[in-house]
Amino acid sequence: MNSKKYNMWLQYQPVTDSKVKEQYQLLLDQVCVIGDGIQLQAAKEELLVAVPQMLDKKFNVSNDPYNSRFVIGNKIKLAQHLDESKQAKLADKNEEAFLLSSDEKQLIITGNSDVAVLYGVHHLLRLMQLHADITQLDIVEQPKNQFRMLNQWDNFDGSIERGYSGRSIFYQNNQFAEDKTRIKDYARFLSSVGINAISINNVNVWEEETYFITKKYLPEIQEIASIFRTYGIKLYLSINFASPVTLGDLDTADPLDQNVQNWWKEKTKEIYEYIPDFGGFVVKADSENRPGPFTYNRDHADGSNMLAEALEPFQGKVIWRCFVYNHLQDWRDRSTDRARAAYDHFKPLDGRFHENVILQVKNGPMDFQVREPVSPLIGAMPNTNQMIEFQVAQEYTGQQIDLCYLIPQWKEVLAFDTHIKGEGTTIEEIVAGNIHHNKYSGVAAVSNIGDDENWTGNTLAQANLYGYGRLTWNPALTSEEIAKEWIRQTFGTNQEVLDTIEDMLLNAWEIYENYTAPLGVGWMVTPGVHYGPNIDGYEYSKWGTYHFADRDGIGVDRTKETGTGYTEQYQEPHQSIYNDLDKVPDELLLFFHHVPYKYTLKSGKTVIQHIYDTHYKGYEQVEGLIEQWNGLSNDIDRERFENVKNRLERQLENAKEWRDQINTYFYRKSGIPDQHGRTIY
C-alpha cells in the first residue's frame, strides 16, 4: 500500500525546485554505510525508499568513506573519519544523540549509537522534505526525554478501546496479524519522530490477553518485538496483576506471598528467553474493576515492587499507572473527590518504590479533558521515578471526527511551573529528569492509530501523532513549528495549503473547547461513548454530576475552606491562586469553584453569558473551518480532501448538538435569558 493517505508524513514527494534538487542529487549520489547493525540497515533501507522518490535518481551504496559524498555510521565505526571537533560535539551527549555535518563536498551522519544514526537519517529526510539547504549542516541533537512511549489500547479480538481509526493492526479475531507489513511501517513512522518504547496491548487486560506472557503467544510477540527493535523501539506488555490466579497456577496473587513472587520471577525469565531486550510491564491495578494489591490489603508499592524484583535481573521496568480511583465513590462526599485520588493514593508512598518502578501520571487529575489543571502529583514524589501520560487518541476531544490539534494543550502542560523546588520547576524539566534526578523519567501517551488506510481516521489527526513524537524529542519546538513541519511533509509545498491548514490546526483546540465544556467544568459527555453532549452524563450517575449545576449556580467547590480541599495538593502560589475566587484563571473557574450564574468573569462577562456566547461562537467557528477547507478543494488530492470534509461536516453536527443542549440546559436551570436575544429553547 503506497497511497498518500497511508504514507502520512513520509510522503517523500518529488523535489520540483531545480536548484534544491541539484544540490540534493550532488550530495546523495552515493552513500557509504559503515557498520551492519540492524538500525543502520533500517536507515539505509529508508534512504533507498526516500531518495529515488524525491530525486528521481538511483541510489548507490558504497563501502568507501573517503570517496563517498554521503557517509553514515556510529562514532566508533567512523572514528578514523571524524575529526576531533566532530567527536567532541557528541562527547557529552546521551546514547541517542546524532550529528549531521556537511559542506559542499561531503555529508556525514553519525551518532553515539546505531539508533542515533537512524534518528539522524530521519532528520535529514525531514529537512529534505522541507526543502532545506543541506550543504552547510552542523546539527547536534539529542532527545530531551529518556522515555518517549506509546501505549496501544488494542484488544486481542481486534477492537481498540478508545480507538477511532478502525481496528487493530496487531490482532484480528483473537489471532495475531499474519501480515505484519503494517506493523513494520508503523515502526518506521514512530522511529521517524523519535519514539523509543511501545506497549502493544490494552491496559485493561482481559482473559485471553493474560496469556500473552505465556508460550502460547510469546513466539508471535517475539516477532513483533524484533520489528520494533529494528527501529530502536523497545517492546512492553500490559499485564493482568492477577495472572498467577487467572492462568490457573495459584489461588492468590498476593504480592507478599513467596509463591506469587517466585511465579513472577519464573514467568519473567521465560519472557526474556524469547525477548532478551524486553522493556517490562505496564500495569493498571485497582482501578475500574482491574485487579490489584488492594485485594490483599497491600498497597501500590507492594504490588509494583514485587514485579520490579522479578524484572530487575534483566534491567526491565515496571510502569505503574496512577489512574486509580474508586469508581463507586459517592461524588457528593468531600473525601472522595476523584480529582484528589491519584495524589492521595500515591504521595504517601514516596520513597518506597524500587528503582526500576516508574509511576505513569495522567497530565490532569481527571481524565484527558479538554481543559483541566495539571496534575499536582507530577513532581510531588521526589524519591520516585515518574513519567507523564498524554492521550493522542481524542477520547474526550472529538474522537478524530472533530478537529482538535493537541500540541498547544500539551505545550501548556509542559510549561506549567509547579514551584515544587521553587520557580522554574516546570513539568517539562520534571519529566526530563532535570529536577529530582531520578534514574528513569519521560513521557507516555495513548496511541491514536488503527487499520484505516490513513491510520488515524481523520487525516488531520495525523498531526497529533507526529506532534507527540516531535514534542517529546524536543519540547522547545513551538506548536507552529510542528504544524508547519507536518503539513509540508504531508501535503507538499503549496503555500495556501500550508497557511490554511496551519490556521485550522492552531485554532482547533479553542474551537472544540468553545462548543463543549466551559470554564474547566469538564465531562458532560455521553456516558460510555464519550462523544456528544449529555450534560448530566457522569458515568456513575447515581452519585450526581461532575458540574454540580443547580438553580443558583454551577461548578465544583474544591477549596480548602468549604470544598473538597483539592487545592491543597498544589504548591504555592498555585494553592492560593486556585483557592481564591478572585485569582483563579477564568478557564479553570468551574473546576475549582461553585459560583452563581451571574458571577462576573475577568473577561467582564457573566458565567451564563460566557456559556451562551462560546457555544454559539464554537458552532460558527466550525462553519469557518469548513469554509477554509473547501477553499483547498483544487489543491489537495480527492481522497484526503473528501475524508477531512466529511469529518468537518460531522463536527458541525456535533457542535450544533452541543450548542443547543448546553444552552438550553443552563437557560432552564438559571432562568436567565441570552442578553443578545438569541432564541434558546
Q: What is the mean pLDDT of residues 362-370?
A: 96
Which residues is 108 bridged to in the sheet? 71, 101
Judged against a pLDDT cut of 80, whether residue 538 lies above it is answered with no
Which of 367, 356, 418 is CA-nearest to residue 389?
367
pLDDT band at 679 (very low <50, low <70, confident <90, very high): confident
Q: Is there a catalytic annotation at residue 257?
A: no
CB 419 within 8 A of CB 574: yes
**Angstrom distances, CA of residue 319 to CA of 208, 279, 359, 461, 507:** 21, 10, 6, 27, 34
Q: 122: number of CA atoms within 13 Å, CB side?
A: 28
pLDDT, residue 298, reads 96
Residue 235 has pLDDT above 60, yes or no: yes
More confident residue, 539 or 258: 258
List domains and CATH numbers for the chain: 18-141 (3.30.379.10), 147-477 (3.20.20.80), 491-556+594-680 (3.90.1330.10)
According to the model, what pLDDT value does residue 431 have?
A: 98
CA distances from 105 to 84, 415, 625 (A): 19, 42, 47
pLDDT digits 0-9 by tens, 485-502: 999 999 999 999 999 999
| DSSP letter (8 states) at residue 329 | -
d(CA 280, CA 263): 16
Question: What average pLDDT does range 338-353 have in this prediction?
Answer: 95
What's the whole-number average pLDDT of the chain? 95
Which cell numbers in the block locate residue 191? 522511529
Confidence of residue 289 (pLDDT cuts 50, 70, 90): confident
Q: How far apart are the C-alpha atoms of 668 and 671, rounded to whole Å? A: 5
Nearest to 568 by CA among 365, 403, 266: 365
Flag whether pLDDT at 412 surpasses 50. Answer: yes
SS3 98: strand
pLDDT of residue 541: 47
Strand partners, 388: 361, 443
Q: What is the pLDDT of residue 631?
A: 98
Catalytic, 161? Answer: no
Average pLDDT, stretch 433-450? Answer: 98
* Closest to 85 in 3D by CA, of 33, 122, 140: 140
pLDDT at 308 over 90: yes
The long-range contacts involving 492-496, CB below 8 angstroms and separated by at least 24 positions, are: 492/11, 492/13, 493/16, 493/131, 494/635, 496/631, 496/632, 496/635
pLDDT at 216 over 90: yes
pTM of the model: 0.97
Other Cβ atoms closer than 10 A to 252: 15
**What's the confidence (pLDDT) of residue 537?**
77
- Closest residue by Cα to residue 392 from 446, 328, 315, 314: 446
pLDDT score of 26 more than 80: yes
Taking residues 576-603, report their average pLDDT: 98
CB 673 within 8 A of CB 667: yes
pLDDT at 153: 98
Provide the phi-psi class of 586: left if phi over 0, else alpha when psi is between -120 and 50, else beta. Answer: alpha
pLDDT (0 to 100) of residue 320: 97
Catalytic residue selected from 288, 355, 550, 627: 288
**Residue for grid cell 497511497:** 3
Q: What is the pLDDT of residues 87-110, one digit of tens each?
A: 999 999 999 999 999 998 899 999
Per-residue pLDDT for 540 more than 60? no
Judge whether residue 1 has pLDDT over 90. no
The arrangement of strands across the sheet holding 30-33 comes to 60-62, 30-33, 70-72, 107-111, 98-102, 138-141
Residue 59 has a pLDDT of: 83
**At 199, is the secondary structure helix, strand, or coil?**
strand
Q: Three-state SS for 268?
A: helix
Q: Given 185, 389, 395, 513, which residue is catalytic? A: 395
Residues 276 and 562: their CA atoms lie apart, in Å, by 55
Contact 356, 362 (CB under 8 A): no
Q: Which three cell numbers stand for residue 99?
A: 550529528
- Is the peptide bond preceding residue 143 cis, with omega within 30 degrees of 0? no
- Any long-range contacts for 49-56 (C-beta under 8 Å, 24+ apart)? 49/12, 50/10, 50/12, 50/125, 50/128, 53/12, 53/13, 53/14, 54/12, 54/13, 54/14, 54/15, 54/24, 54/128, 54/129, 55/14, 55/15, 55/21, 55/24, 55/25, 55/28, 56/14
- Cα 135 from Cα 26, distance rounded (Å): 10
Per cent of the chain over pLDDT 90 is: 89
HSE-CB at 276 with a 13 A cutoff on CA atoms is 0
Q: What is the dihedral of CA 208, 214, 215, 219, to 10 degrees?
A: 80
Structure-model confidence comparison of residues 654 and 291, the more confident one: 654
- CB atoms under 10 Å from CB of 204, counted, come to 16
CA angle 282, 287, 293 (to 5 degrees): 75
> Per-residue pLDDT tens for 71-92?
999 999 999 888 899 899 999 9
The one catalytic residue in 277, 350, 367, 536 is: 367
Measured distance CA(644)–CA(654) in Å, rounded: 15
What's the rounded Cα separation, in Å, for the pair 474 and 403? 24
Residue 542 has pLDDT above 50, yes or no: no
* Res 484: pLDDT: 98
Confidence of residue 301 (pLDDT cuts 50, 70, 90): very high
Please give the Cα distance from 147 to 513 (Å, whole number): 30
pLDDT score of 556 more than 50? yes
